[in-house]
Chains A and B, each alone.
Chain A
């Protein structure tokens, strides 16, 4: 029996929809997808209106997960790995770790050629760091003996200040990798939760846009979306960004890439919608 209650407990905390990852501002392009008339595209012409919306929503979740797993997940993984290495020697590796994390953040910035997605990613990223320092870090009086969590708190605080001072961007995937590792979540769980939250936030926005009903959203999340998340995690879990290696071999297939150019166009066009309720 799995007795790792600690990790499960933290996972439950992180899945809270009130957290910055909890989808009340971002639709990841779903609102724009609907406005541009793409929801009816995946269904058969004879399908009912409700069925068409459901099929269209699942198609969006699939395509969005497909590209997000390949473009963002490697950054979660690498940030998680960097913090892992930092935990080995927190006394000496502070500056080197910051430098690596900034390198990841900068690469994500230059690979995300979509200002609407960048805006959402930065807003959620800095909120994640703030959540750690204000919410999850141990209070100072009890952490005297725990050098490691102190070192992590110092590291994350410094990053947060650098984001606030606009010295770096603070993108969500990088911040998510840092946060989950600081909280003791394993890499695989962190990856899985990251993609689950992405899918869930799309479904939440679909409910809020009245595209699907709340029961339907839960049903999709339990049955249709579950294998999709698992599949994307298992396909992309070993990918890395390549920043820490020779970028000369930059044509390897296991490096971050965009797989859905249509999604990019529609996400960028979010701001062109005459009326909209989400930020992205």
Chain B
């Protein structure tokens, strides 16, 4: 079922509202406007729905501003996926239909147009959101800001994946974008339980290197800080429907013992409990994006029992 194109809604916005009607998830709202596109395929599993979040042309350009509101009704399980990575093209000062004025704090910090994506989600009692998109890929000189806020009821659950790659490696890009700024904030019954803010910034390097003499020690670029890896991921799990997956992950993590190495591994991950053990944060990094994807597909396969085997297989393609 494709979203009905609505004329009354502002550029670059989307709205998803779903509720459960006798074991079928029904969308009372599924609307979006250019360049955002929402698509919901038919799903066999009871109480489960999938929405693909896409953009026209498969990417976003400098100045694009996309805002999505999501309301997951009681006892619904909603999977939010994408088709291919979110590509953020080079920033350019020009205009496009989806370009709008934003807050002054953003405008001042960079003369170039920033691409922003924001998502505001409420998750009602006994429902769950599985946000498992492909990673964001920022091209050379791109500047991207993503702000995602999640409001959970006490018995609600969330699996939230936020990941970024180093660029188009086939074109030699390796952490060459200008800025990637991602904020994930999770509230449970109005109480903030986690605020994850990641800033990957090359701009300070640009401004300093042209005016200063050679330095000792030399400045560290973003690439210096993040190498040898080209993909970083943050996964947050919270709520009753994540318990069995978290137990799997904890067992896996607990069995690791690191002996002194002479060179880094191809893939690394870490696990931290948050909010007195009620939630879990996984961070991962890999030389290849594919390594990271493969690891997540396997590590989260316990979700098959929660959302259905066929539905889970649509993630991490």
Contact = CB atoms under 8 A, between A and B. Distances in A.
Contact of B198 (A107, A254, A257): A257
A58 B261 CA distance: 19
Interface string A71-111: 00000000000000000000000000000000000110011
Given A224-B217, A262-B225, A111 B197 contact: yes
A261 B283 CA distance: 8
B273 interface: yes
B273 to A, nearest CB: 6
A259 interface: yes
Give chain B's interface secondary structure class. Answer: strand
B259 A252 contact: no
A255 interface: yes
Contact of A253 (B199, B271, B274): B199
Interface stretch (B30-38, B92-100, B187-195): B187-195
Interface in A218-260: 223-224, 227-228, 235, 249-260
Interface string B270-310: 11111100000101110000000000000000000000000
Interface size class of B (residues with CB under 8 A): 35 or more
B283 A264 contact: yes
A154 interface: no
Nearest to A252: B105
A107 B195 CA distance: 8
A257 B227 contact: no
Contacts of A70: 199
B201 A272 contact: no
A40 interface: yes
Nearest to B216: A224
Contacts, number: 144
Given A227-B215, A251-B103, A110 B195 contact: yes
A255 B183 CA distance: 11
B256 A253 contact: no
A258 B216 contact: no
Interface in A49-85: 58-59, 62-63, 66, 70
B226 interface: yes
A147 interface: no
B42 interface: no
Given A62-B217, A114-B272, A249 B258 contact: no
Interface stretch (A18-26, A31-39, A122-130, A182-190): A31-39
3 closest A-B pairs by CB: A37-B261, A268-B270, A257-B199
Given A41-B263, A66-B220, A274-B258, 19 more contacts: A37-B261, A41-B227, A42-B224, A63-B220, A107-B192, A110-B195, A111-B197, A114-B272, A254-B105, A258-B197, A258-B198, A261-B198, A265-B268, A265-B285, A268-B283, A269-B268, A272-B256, A274-B257, A274-B259
Interface of B: 103, 105-106, 109, 116, 118, 145, 147, 181, 183, 185, 192-201, 204, 215-217, 220, 224-229, 232, 234, 253, 256-265, 268-275, 281, 283-285
26 contacts: A35-B259, A36-B258, A38-B264, A41-B227, A59-B224, A62-B220, A106-B192, A113-B196, A113-B281, A249-B103, A250-B147, A250-B183, A251-B106, A252-B103, A253-B109, A253-B181, A253-B199, A257-B181, A257-B197, A257-B198, A257-B199, A258-B199, A259-B199, A260-B225, A261-B198, A265-B283
